[in-house]
Structure 1
Amino acid sequence: MAKIKSTLDIQLDLTRPVEEITQVISAVIASQPARRKEILNGLDLAVGNALIEIQSQEEKDQKPNDDIAQEKFPEQRDGGEKGWISGRFLNSP
């Protein structure tokens, strides 16, 4: 019995990921014009979730740095004139 597959063999140049992925998306959409919206909505959801995950991780990574900055630079927290900025004490000449 004949086996019929609708496949796309892909080789990507990982030094140009955006351009390469864009070309793959274009090829898939061209092969499935009736499902164009469904495909793009699925990609939108996947990319959106990935971006949310990245942003969440960046916020977690930033939080400890913010706490450390407040300890080293208390003038940023309370508006006072005492503290360290750029390696020197504010009240020094």
Structure 2
Amino acid sequence: MQQRLFTSSAAVAKYYKVTLKRSTIGLSQDYRAAAKTLGLVRLHQTTYQPVNPSTAGLILKLKELVHVENVASIPTKEQLLAAKPERGYKVINNIL
């Protein structure tokens, strides 16, 4: 019998990257508390949470409000700043 080995991103991932995409305004206190427990207060705020059953339960409760990705490590501040585009704009060609 041939044995299959599955390699998925969930097996390698150590953290959830959780981003709040919809507001908790108008929801009950338990939903707001779940979002605050995950560290999500503002829209489009991102936090990194460890992969464990309690975190997965909170994410499952807020599944319509959050966007979740599996990541292997938490990026450093330098990596986050390097990924940001520069402010303003640049003139590439002057047609005039």
TM-score (norm: length of structure 2): 0.18
**With CA pairs under 8 Å and 6+ residues apart, which has the higher RCO, 1 or 2?**
2
**Could you say which structure has the higher helix fraction?**
1
**Could you say which structure has the higher strand fraction?**
2
